Structure 1
């Protein structure tokens, strides 16, 4: 195993550990907040966050990715990037502050929405100032530090602040305080770990060079934002704030565990792939291997979440959120396709080829806009909007696959095999959990049914890890040392 591979594997372990820890905190946090606040509160926050997210990707300007991807990086480069962060972050924060009333009018929200948008605008500047430090940590492959900073900023800055504020009667503003606390603590911890120069260098020529790459990353992020949040805006505007709240909680339940897996992989793979960006053979192998592992894990998790959505919503969110259960399976599938495609985006970003990525996201957005308009005009409501989301994700996935298959012909067969195996395994898991529900429905309480489903899913997963060498993703995980030896060691004779 090469040194780069060894460091990458250790990084995957640390980031997955941080993701698992965050998920362990997120579950009780979501359950507590769902009982302290109402669907209208979450819908209001989801709509308020749309406007700052509109500027979020421009505020950071792809600066963190630029720090990671640059072949060489000097102290002078860092001062230029910090100057860009200060300038762009400040301008975006000010723009959102000024446009807040118009955003409220566009969304057709209550007057309180304007104040929430303006408070969240401060987070744009905070996050932008932390981008150079975050990029330095990833470039240095300091994955343990990144994992620790991510976990503590989320657990303390977001979860603890939000719950304490809600208990003190802050209502929907507790979500605003938690979001700002998360951004502030993330920035402070990242900077404390690298301590780069805080003297900005306003060199216009150098700034322009950085923005050639970072600007394209920002445009891609902006298009991803539009495709992710356009459905929420359409639902909030045409169906209602409460419906937007149900959608928001369903999306969180469906996608949070999946996002932890993909974000952990992306944080490690971008700096690793950037170091071999000119080695086509190694990139093709990395593309096939990473797709095999992530697709197998993500589709399997989706099957568990989708088949258990009724019990998960009842236990974690409570009776007032029952309408979210029907949305979880389809939203989970949309999330899986989106996250698998994100790895393809990470690969081309590491290669510096982001122009065609912009075109793919633009095509996806056009498909989504057209599909959403048709769904709403026909009166299909939330389910129609989500169907449009699914179709747009399938179009994006097809375009990425076509492009990468042309770049890496040798990876075409293993990638196709990985998708087929992932879909087949998710089908097996779903059928097994559906059978458990049919057997126990009406005779056992909800916690017992959920426990039985999770136990069956765990047995299937362990069997695949132990004996599923025919699965490409399992084989890659074994070869790369991503699995504990105790799980892959064959049983001793006589046992």
Structure 2
């Protein structure tokens, strides 16, 4: 195992540990907030966050990715990037502040929405200034520091602040305060670990050079925002705030554990892949193995969440959120497809080939717009909009698959095999959990049924890891040292 592989594996372990810990905290947090606030509150917050998210990717400017991906980085570059972050973050924050009343009119929200949007606009400046420190941590492959910073800021800045504010009667504003606290603490902790210079250098030529790459990353992020949040906007505008709240909580329950897995992988893989961006053979092997592992884990988790969604919603959120349960399986599948595609995007970003991502995201957006228009015309409600989102995600996944297979022909067969095995495992898992529910639902309460389903899923997952050597994802995880020694029967393969 090479030094780069060893550092990457250690980074994966730290980021996955932080992701699991964050998911463990998120569960009781979501349960508590679901009982302290109403669906209308969450719907209002979801709509308020749409407007700042519109400018978020431009405020961020792809600066973190630009710091990581650049072959070399000097002290002068750091000063230039800080100046760029200060300029773009300030401009975007001011623009959202001015746009807030028009955003409220577009979303047909109450007047309170304007104040919430303006408060959240501060996050744009905070995240822009923190992007440089975060990028420097990732570039130096200090994964332990990144993991601890992410976890600490989420728990203290978001969960503690939100729950405390809600208990004090802040209502929907408790979610705003938590979001501000999360972003501020993460930026401060990252800076404390790096302590880069705070002297900006306004060199327009150098700033334009940074933006050649960072701007494309921002454009891709903006298009991802449109494809992700367009359904939420349509639901809030045409179906209602309560429906938007139910959708928001269902999306959280369906996607949060999956996002922790994918985000942990992306934080580690972008720096690692950037260092071998010109070594086609190693990139092809890394692509095939990472896709197999990612797909296997994400599809398995989706099956667990989807098959037990009724019991999960009732236990974690309460009876007032029953309408979210039927949305969880479909939203989970949408999330899995989107997150698997994000890995493809991370690989292309590490190679500097971000222009093609723009084309793929534009095609996805056009498909989504067409599907949304049809769903609204037919009056098919939330479910029709979800089908439109699913179709657009399938199109994006297919385009990434075709493009990457052309770049790495040797990876075509193992990647297809990884997808097929992940789909088969998810089907087997769903069938097992459905069978448990059928056996217990007439004689046991919901929590007991959920415990039985989770026990069955855990047993199936352990058997898969222990005895599934024929699965590409399991084999790759063993060979690359991602599993504990007890599960690794084969010798590690150097990257």
Asked if these proteins are the same fold (TM beyond 0.5), I'd say yes
CA contact (8 A) 2:481 2:488 kept: no
Aligned residue in 2 for 1:47: 47
Aligned residue in 2 for 1:87: 87
CA contact (8 A) 1:466 1:489 kept: no
Aligned residue in 2 for 1:477: 477
Aligned residue in 1 for 2:424: 424
Aligned residue in 1 for 2:436: 436
Residue ranges of structure 1 left out of the alignment (5+ in a row): 491-495
Alignment pair present for 1:16 and 2:48: no
Aligned residue in 1 for 2:68: 68
Please say which of residues 322-331 and 477-486 is displaced more in the overlay.
477-486
Structure 1 residues 210-289: aligned runs within 5 Å: 210-289=210-289
Instruction: Give the whole-Å Cα distance in 2 for the aligned partners of 1:363 and 1:335.
Output: 18
Instruction: Give the whole-Å Cα distance in 1 for the aligned partners of 2:349 and 2:290.
Output: 15
Instruction: Give the whole-Å Cα distance in 1 for the aligned partners of 2:46 and 2:487.
Output: 41
Structure 1 residues 58-81: Cα deviation after superposition (integer angstroms, max 9, x where no partner): 001000000000000001000000
Superposition deviation, residue 335 in structure 1: 0.2
Structure 1 residues 180-221: Cα deviation after superposition (integer angstroms, max 9, x where no partner): 000000000000000000000000000000000000000000
Instruction: Give the whole-Å Cα distance in 2 for the aligned partners of 1:243 and 1:284.
Output: 43
Structure 1 residues 226-261: Cα deviation after superposition (integer angstroms, max 9, x where no partner): 000000000000000000000000000000000000
Aligned residue in 2 for 1:132: 132
Aligned residue in 1 for 2:306: 306
Task: Find the residue that maps to 2:83 and give its secondary structure.
Answer: helix
Structure 1 residues 34-83: Cα deviation after superposition (integer angstroms, max 9, x where no partner): 00000000000000000000000000100000000000000100000000
Superposition deviation, residue 442 in structure 1: 2.0
Task: Find the residue that maps to 1:483 and give its secondary structure.
Answer: coil
Structure 1 residues 281-360: aligned runs within 5 Å: 281-360=281-360
Superposition deviation, residue 374 in structure 1: 0.3
Aligned residue in 2 for 1:493: none
Instruction: Give the whole-Å Cα distance in 1 for the aligned partners of 2:488 and 2:359.
Output: 42
Task: Find the residue that maps to 1:49 and give its secondary structure.
Answer: helix
Superposition deviation, residue 488 in structure 1: 4.2
Superposition deviation, residue 481 in structure 1: 1.0
Q: TM-score, normalised by structure 2?
A: 0.99
Aligned residue in 1 for 2:493: none
Structure 1 residues 200-211: aligned runs within 5 Å: 200-211=200-211
Instruction: Give the whole-Å Cα distance in 2 for the aligned partners of 1:135 and 1:488.
Output: 33
Greater than 2 Å deviation, 4+ residue runs:
486-490
Instruction: Give the whole-Å Cα distance in 2 for the aligned partners of 1:242 and 1:442.
Output: 32
CA contact (8 A) 2:478 2:487 kept: no
Structure 1 residues 106-185: aligned runs within 5 Å: 106-185=106-185
Q: TM-score, normalised by structure 1?
A: 0.99
Superposition deviation, residue 487 in structure 1: 3.6
CA contact (8 A) 2:80 2:203 kept: yes
Instruction: Give the whole-Å Cα distance in 1 for the aligned partners of 2:485 and 2:319.
Output: 42
Residue ranges of structure 2 left out of the alignment (5+ in a row): 491-495
Superposition deviation, residue 451 in structure 1: 0.4
Q: What is the Cα-based RMSD across aligned positions, in Å?
A: 0.7
Instruction: Give the whole-Å Cα distance in 1 for the aligned partners of 2:414 and 2:232.
Output: 36
Instruction: Give the whole-Å Cα distance in 2 for the aligned partners of 1:489 and 1:36.
Output: 49
Aligned residue in 2 for 1:379: 379
CA contact (8 A) 2:270 2:347 kept: yes
Aligned residue in 1 for 2:197: 197
Aligned residue in 2 for 1:2: 2
Between the two proteins, the alignment pairs up a number of residues equal to: 490
Superposition deviation, residue 96 in structure 1: 0.1
Task: Find the residue that maps to 1:218 and give its secondary structure.
Answer: helix
Structure 1 residues 125-172: Cα deviation after superposition (integer angstroms, max 9, x where no partner): 001000000000000000000000000000000000000000000000
Instruction: Give the whole-Å Cα distance in 2 for the aligned partners of 1:123 and 1:345.
Output: 25
Task: Find the residue that maps to 2:416 and give its secondary structure.
Answer: helix
Instruction: Give the whole-Å Cα distance in 1 for the aligned partners of 2:423 and 2:272.
Output: 28
Alignment pair present for 1:104 and 2:104: yes
Structure 1 residues 1-25: Cα deviation after superposition (integer angstroms, max 9, x where no partner): 0000000000000000000010011
Structure 1 residues 95-143: Cα deviation after superposition (integer angstroms, max 9, x where no partner): 0000000000000000000000000000100010000000000000000
Instruction: Give the whole-Å Cα distance in 2 for the aligned partners of 1:233 and 1:275.
Output: 39
